[in-house]
Amino acid sequence: MSDIQDKLRARAKELLESGEVKSFIGWEAGRFENQTTPLIITDAKDTDRIIYNEYCANTVAKYVRDVKPNGKVALCVRGCDSRAVNRMIADLDFVREDVYLIGLPCSGMKDRKTGELFKKCTECRHNNPVVFDEMIGEPAPQMEPAEGRFDVVKKLEDEPRDERDAYFDRIFRKCIRCYACRDVCPCCTCRKCFVDQHRVGWQGKQNNLAENRFYQLTRVMHIADRCIECGECERVCPMNLPLMEFNRKAIMDMNDLFGEFEAGLTDNEPKSALITYELGDVEEFM
Partner 1 sequence: MPVVDNDKAAAPATETTNAAPASNGEFRPKILAFCCNWCTYAGADLAGLNRMNYPADVRLLRVPCSGRINPQFVIEALNKGCDGVLVCGCHPGDCHYVTGNYYTRRRMLVFKRLLEYAGLEPERFQVRWISGAEAGKFRDTVTQVCEEIRALGPIDVCEEVAK
Q: Which stretch binds partner 1 (CB under 8 A): 59-67, 72-80, 90-98, 253-261?
A: 253-261
- Using CB under 8 A, which of 180, 258, 261, 266 touches partner 1? 258
Q: What H or E segment, with its residue span, contains residue 258?
A: helix 244-258
Q: How many residues bind partner 1 (CB under 8 A)?
A: 45
**How far from each other are the two terminal CA atoms of the chain, in whole angstroms?**
58
Q: Which stretch binds partner 1 (CB under 8 A): 24-32, 64-72, 77-85, 214-222?
A: 214-222
Closest CA to 157 of 168, 148, 173: 168
> Which residue number, 45 or 173, has a Cβ lying nearer to partner 1?
173
Closest CA to 189 of 134, 226, 146, 218: 226
Binding of residue 176 to partner 1 (CB under 8 A): no
Binding of residue 206 to partner 1 (CB under 8 A): yes
Beta carbon of residue 147, minimum distance to partner 1 (angstroms, whole number): 19
Cβ-contact 195, 201 below 8 angstroms: no
> Which residue number, 134 or 163, has a Cβ lying nearer to partner 1?
163
Sequence-ordered strand ranges (E) for the chain: 23-29, 36-41, 73-77, 99-103, 134-135
- Using CB under 8 A, which of 10, 48, 151, 277 touches partner 1? 277
Paired strand residues for 23: 73
Closest CA to 122 of 100, 93, 150, 144: 144
Binding of residue 224 to partner 1 (CB under 8 A): yes
Residue length of the chain: 286
Q: Helix, strand, coil proportions of the chain in percent (round to 5)?
A: 40, 10, 50
What does the alpha-carbon distance between residue 218 and residue 216 come to, in Å, rounded to a whole number?
5
Binding of residue 131 to partner 1 (CB under 8 A): no
Beta carbon of residue 37, minimum distance to partner 1 (angstroms, whole number): 34
- Using CB under 8 A, which of 14, 34, 213, 262 touches partner 1? 213
- Using CB under 8 A, which of 146, 178, 221, 239 touches partner 1? 221
Cβ-contact 195, 215 below 8 angstroms: yes
What does the alpha-carbon distance between residue 30 and residue 10 come to, in Å, rounded to a whole number?
21
Q: Which 140-169 positions form the footprint of partner 1 (CB under 8 A)? A: 153, 156-157, 161-162, 164-169
Binding of residue 279 to partner 1 (CB under 8 A): yes
- Positions touching partner 1 (CB under 8 A) are 153, 156-157, 161-162, 164-169, 194, 202, 206, 208-211, 213-214, 217-218, 220-221, 224, 246, 249-250, 253-254, 257-258, 273-279, 281-286
